[in-house]
């Protein structure tokens, strides 16, 4: 999701130039993933140059059969006075059973450009039908909704916008403090490098607590409104 959003902003503001510092830090063990639960909400305020520019919210619902539904709702706008100069909207729904992705739908209105994807479990893998990719994907691939920390232990992820298989290099930056509401918590900082560099933070319970990237030197930051 973040990759295409940044590219769109780059077209409005000029092309983003992502850069990163090399690091030799590597994760030596995989932590226990966060266990999603019925009723959980991950609610971020999105800042552009330190000012609110939209919201990214995920909601989790689990039925009696054990199907976990994860809904992503992203609405971002850049306004110049009363005029909306840029708008981005993403709606996606993931369905998981026993920790395995079984289906996904996503649609994006990227300032007038529309992308979509549907994913369905197919034998030992997933069949992806998207505007940027159609074909088979491994059952273990993680969607780009970022709530699942296991994505930082892979070299690719599945776009929830277009179905693109995004190749990436993941670096472990280290331990840092993150502000969530009135609390300061410890988290591990990772850097995902592909066509765009995205920074992600997860706390010791593997909860996604922060995200950041830059477009033409303009910082975009996700601020978690409350712990979940």
Would the pLDDT of 18 be above 80? no
pLDDT of residue 29: 80
Q: Name the average pLDDT for the chain.
A: 89
The tokens describing 88, both together, are 């981005």
The tokens describing 193, both together, are 């490098």
Residue partners of 45: CB distance under 8 A and separation at least 6:
52, 54, 55, 222, 223, 225
pLDDT of residue 56: 98
> 10 Å Cβ neighbour count for 79?
11
pLDDT of residue 10: 54
- Local confidence band at 2 (pLDDT 50, 70, 90 cut-offs): low
- Local confidence band at 88 (pLDDT 50, 70, 90 cut-offs): very high
Burial class (CB in 10 A: 0-12, 13-18, 19+), 211: buried
* Helix, coil or strand: residue 4: helix
- Cβ pair 196, 18 in contact under 8 A: yes
Which whole-number Å values give the CA distances from 198 to 8, 113, 163, in the listed order?
A: 15, 22, 19
The tokens describing 220, both together, are 């975009």
- For tokens 């989790």, name the residue: 60
More confident residue, 18 or 108: 108
- 149-179 pLDDT, tens digit each: 999 999 999 999 999 999 999 999 999 999 9
pLDDT of residue 61: 98
Q: Per-domain residue ranges for the chain?
A: 2-224
Would the pLDDT of 110 be above 50? yes
| Across 11-28, average pLDDT | 38
The tokens describing 190, both together, are 């990772």
- Local confidence band at 72 (pLDDT 50, 70, 90 cut-offs): very high
pLDDT of residue 81: 86
Strands (E), 9-155: 41-48, 51-62, 67-80, 83-97, 100-110, 113-122, 125-130, 134-138, 142-143
**CATH classification of 2-224, choosing from 1.10.150, 1.20.950, 2.115.10, 2.50.20?**
2.50.20
Which whole-number Å values give the CA distances from 100 to 67, 103, 117, 125, in the listed order?
A: 10, 9, 18, 10
């Amino acid at each position: 999701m973040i990759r295409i959003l940044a590219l769109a902003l780059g077209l409005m503001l000029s092309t983003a130039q992502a850069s990163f510092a090399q690091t030799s830090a590597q994760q030596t063990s995989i932590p226990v993933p966060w266990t999603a639960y019925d009723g959980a909400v991950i609610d971020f305020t999105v800042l552009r140059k330190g000012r609110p520019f939209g919201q990214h919210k995920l909601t989790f619902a689990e039925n009696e059969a054990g199907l976990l539904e994860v809904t992503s709702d992203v609405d971002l706008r850049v306004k110049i006075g009363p005029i909306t100069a840029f708008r981005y909207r993403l709606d996606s729904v993931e369905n998981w059973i026993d920790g395995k992705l079984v289906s996904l739908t996503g649609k994006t209105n990227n300032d007038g450009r529309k992308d979509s994807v549907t994913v369905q479990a197919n034998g030992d893998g997933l069949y992806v039908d998207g505007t940027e990719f159609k074909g088979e994907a491994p059952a273990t691939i993680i969607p780009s909704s970022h709530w699942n920390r296991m994505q930082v232990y892979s070299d690719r992820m599945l776009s929830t916008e277009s179905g693109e298989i995004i190749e990436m290099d993941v670096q472990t930056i280290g331990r840092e403090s993150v502000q969530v509401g009135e609390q300061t918590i410890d988290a591990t900082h990772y850097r995902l490098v592909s066509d765009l560099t995205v920074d992600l933070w997860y706390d010791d319970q593997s909860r996604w607590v922060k995200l950041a990237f830059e477009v033409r030197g303009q910082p975009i930051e996700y601020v978690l409104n409350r712990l979940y």
